[in-house]
Amino acid sequence: MNVFNRSVLLIFALLVAVFSLALLLLALPFIPMQYEEALRKFIFDSDVTTLFAIIMLLLSVKFIFNAMESSGKYDYHITNRTELGEIKISFDTIKSIALSSIKNINSIKEAKAQVKDNKGDISIIVNVVFATGTIIPVLSKQIQNSVKEAVESATEVTIKEVVVIVEESNNYGKRRVG
């Protein structure tokens, strides 16, 4: 589950927890008698409502704890096994190698990289902004070859594919790679 989905789940769980707690408090005898009649029109007067509120509160607390603890369970590295043990290479290291392999290409004005791991198939996505007049297919193939060779030789990790995404930009003044 990505960061966005975990955040949405956390917000949802917090809202459900607040709503469930409010329903639970309304079902208990803490409300003054003058407001109780009006509130009973909006809320069912039964033990089912209280039970529903308790169940929703417990479920939302479970979701909150799951969202909090799951952030450390995701691997952002690739593990290579050797006869002496494991070698773990972070995605940030792979991104750095990929970007350093293309930093000397003059037509690149800006570049960013991402690493995706799909069940052991490693893909590198490179977003680039080229200078005006660049022949995009030729330079894209050069980027793909440079990134694949550099990462595979430095890490001994097999790269399934290198995806180059060419972005349009009017900011041609400053070169940024990173």
Q: Which of 72, 88, 112 is the last residue of a domain?
A: 72
pLDDT digits (tens, 9 = 90+) for 45-86: 566 666 766 777 777 777 777 667 655 545 688 888 889 999
Q: Both 83 and 167 in a single domain?
A: yes
Q: Both 93 and 162 in a single domain?
A: yes
Q: Both 139 and 158 in a single domain?
A: yes
Q: Both 157 and 83 in a single domain?
A: yes
Q: Both 95 and 162 in a single domain?
A: yes
Q: Facing residues of 79 across strands?
A: 88
Q: Which of 46, 72, 98 is the last residue of a domain?
A: 72
CA 49, CA 137: separation in Å to the nearest integer?
63
Q: Both 122 and 145 in a single domain?
A: yes
> For the chain, how many structural domains are there in total?
2
Q: Both 165 and 99 in a single domain?
A: yes
Q: What is the CATH number of the domain that holds 119?
A: 3.30.300.30
Give the pLDDT confidence score for residue 102 in this predicted structure.
Answer: 93
pLDDT digits (tens, 9 = 90+) for 127-163: 999 888 888 999 999 999 999 999 999 998 899 999 9
Query: Which parts of 71-174 are beta strand (E)?
Result: 77-82, 85-90, 108-118, 121-130, 159-166
Q: Which of 50, 72, 94 is the last residue of a domain?
A: 72
The SS3 call for residue 124 is strand
Q: What is the domain extent for residue 53? A: 3-72
